[in-house]
Amino acid sequence: MHGGQGPLLLLPLLAVCLGVQGQNQEERLLADLMQNYDPNLRPAERDSDVVNVSLKLTLTNLISLNEREEALTTNVWIEMQWCDYRLRWDPRDYEGLWVLRVPSTMVWRPDIVLENKSQTYSTNEIDLQLSQEDGQTIEWIFIDPEAFTENGEWAIQHRPAKMLLDPAAPAQEAGHQKVVFYLLIQRKPLFYVINIIAPCVLISSVAILIYFLPAKAGGQKCTVAINVLLAQTVFLFLVAKKVPETSQAVPLISKYLTFLLAVTILIVVNAVVVLNVSLRSPHTHSMARGVRKVFLRLLPQLLRMHVRPLAPAAVQDTQPRLQNGSLGWSITTGEEVALCLPRSELLFQQWQRQGLVAAALEKLEKGPELEPNQFCGSLKQAAPAIQACVEACNLIARARHQQSHFDNGNEEWFLVGRVLDRVCFLAMLSLFVCGTAGIFLMAHYNRVPALPFPGDPRPYLPSPD
C-alpha cells in the first residue's frame, strides 16, 4: 500500500512545482518590463514618432433617452489598441510565455475621454484610427448579439463611426482629430399611440359630435366642448413635461395636441354664434333678402336638409280687412294701439262692445213689429255697435296676423341657425380629419433615412460576406 501511495503523492507535488515555476516566470517578466518603465511617458522611441491608437466601441445596452435633459444612457465597451515598444520580450527567454496581463494603471494609456466626442492628444503625438478585423476597417459600433439587450422604446437604425479632422483646430492642440460614434435611433410609437394619441382622437371626436345637438342647445354644446378642452389641456401638460425646453424644433405630438386645442376652441365659437342666430326674433333683427335666399333656399338644397317651406313673410299687412261700405270698416290708428294695451283693459273694451252688439241685435229682432220710423231709428241707433263689432273683428285678425308673422320670423332665424350649424359641422369635421391625417402623414414620413449620411453611399455596416 505504501508503494501504491508514492505515485499519487508525486503528481500533486509536480503540479505545484510547475505552477510555482510558471508564476515565477510571470513575476520575472513583469519585474523586467517595469524596471525602468515610466507610465507617464508616451511610448515613442523618438520625439517625431506618432503612436497609432485603434478604437473599437461595443454597445451592450441602450438604457434610456432623457428627452428633456437630452441625455442618452448606454452601456458600452471601449477597446483601444496600441504598440508600446517598452513592453517587448522574447518568449524563448521566459519559457514560451506569450501573454502577460497587468493592471491598466501600471502602463501608459492614451488620454481618451468618451463624451459626446473623443478627445485626444495632438496629431503630432497620437494618430487615432478605427480598428481593423480581417483587413476590413470597423466603421460602425459593434453590437454583440449575445450580450445586447433590446430597448423597449427606441430602435437603433444606424450606428456608423467616422474619423474626423477639424481643420479649424491647430494640429498641435487637442481636438484636431476625433473618432465620432453615431447612434441614429427611432422611437417605437406603440406606447404613445395607445396612451396619448388614441385618447386625444377619441376625446376630440366627442367635441365634433356636439353638432348633433339642437341648434338652440348652445349651453350644452359649450359645456361639452369646454370639458373636452380641459381634457386636451391635461394631455398637453403631460407631454410638455417630457419634451425638451427648446425652440429649435417642436415635437409632432405637441403640434397635434395644439391643433386639437385650436379645433375645440373653434367649435366653442361656432356654438356661441349659432346660439346667437337661433335666438333672434323680428323684434331685434331684420332678415335681409340675401340671407333668406342663401340660408333658406340654396344651402338646404346643397346640404340635403329637409326644411319645411315657410309662408312668405310680408312686412305690410296684405290680408283683406273689413272696410267702410261693402267690406266694412278698417282699423284706425287708435285701435292699432289697442294691441299694446294690458289684457284686462282689452277684455273690458271687448265686453263693452259685446253689450252694444247684443242690444243692437235685440232691436233688429224686433224690427218687423216696429213702425218704419222706429225701425230706421233702431238701425241708426245700432250702427255704432255694428261698427264696434267690425272693429273688434279687424283687431283680432290683425293680432293673429302679427303673431303669425312673428312666429314665422322666429322660425326663419331658427332655420338659419340650423343651416349654419350644419355648415360649421362639415367645416370642423373636414378640418379635423384633414389635420389629423396631415400630421399623421408627417409622422409617417419623418423616418430615419436609408443611409446614415446624405450623399454618402456607404452603409457603415459589416459586409454580408
Q: Tens of pLDDT along 245-303?
A: 777 778 888 888 889 999 999 998 988 888 888 888 877 788 888 888 888 878 888 87
Tell whether the model's pLDDT for residue 106 goes beyond 50: yes
Confidence of residue 124 (pLDDT cuts 50, 70, 90): low
> Which pLDDT value is given to residue 365?
56
- The pLDDT > 90 percentage for the chain reads 5
Residue-wise DSSP of 190-258:
HHHIIIIIHHHHHHHHHHHGGGGS-TT-HHHHHHHHHHHHHHHHHHHHHHHTTS-S-SS---HHHHHHH
Confidence of residue 433 (pLDDT cuts 50, 70, 90): very high
> Which pLDDT value is given to residue 9?
31
Residue among 220, 250, 179, 225 at smallest CA distance from 439: 250
> Which pLDDT value is given to residue 266?
92
CA–CA separation, 397 and 393 (whole Å) = 6
> Which pLDDT value is given to residue 427?
92
Of the two residues 157 and 176, the one the predictor is more confident about is 157
CA–CA separation, 350 and 353 (whole Å) = 5
Which domains does the chain possess?
25-187 (2.70.170.10), 190-306+423-445 (1.20.58.390)
Confidence of residue 193 (pLDDT cuts 50, 70, 90): confident
* SS3 track for 21-56: HHHHHHHHHHHHHCCCCCCCCCCCCCCCCCEEEEEE
> Which pLDDT value is given to residue 323?
43
> Which pLDDT value is given to residue 17?
40
Question: What's the mean pLDDT when you consider all of the chain?
Answer: 74
Residue 70, CA distances (Å) to 65, 67, 77, 91 in order: 7, 5, 22, 51
> Which pLDDT value is given to residue 429?
92
Confidence of residue 395 (pLDDT cuts 50, 70, 90): confident
The alpha-carbon radius of gyration of the chain (Å, integer) is: 50
Interval 127-169: pLDDT, tens: 777 777 777 788 888 888 888 888 888 888 888 888 877 776 6
Please state the φ and ψ torsions of residue 283, each to the nearest 5 degrees: -70, -25
Tell whether the model's pLDDT for residue 118 goes beyond 70: no
Cβ neighbours of residue 108 under 8 Å, at least 6 residues apart? 39, 40, 41, 42, 43, 84
> Which pLDDT value is given to residue 330?
42
Confidence of residue 369 (pLDDT cuts 50, 70, 90): low
Tell whether the model's pLDDT for residue 328 goes beyond 70: no
CA–CA separation, 161 and 153 (whole Å) = 23
Tell whether the model's pLDDT for residue 375 goes beyond 90: no
CA–CA separation, 76 and 183 (whole Å) = 12
Confidence of residue 22 (pLDDT cuts 50, 70, 90): very low
**Grid-cell match 345637438, residue found:** 213
Of these ranges, 29-33, 109-113, 351-355, the one predicted with the greatest mean pLDDT is: 29-33
> Which pLDDT value is given to residue 243?
78
Of the two residues 13 and 127, the one the predictor is more confident about is 127
CA–CA separation, 325 and 47 (whole Å) = 136
Confidence of residue 381 (pLDDT cuts 50, 70, 90): low
> Which pLDDT value is given to residue 434?
93
CA–CA separation, 58 and 74 (whole Å) = 11
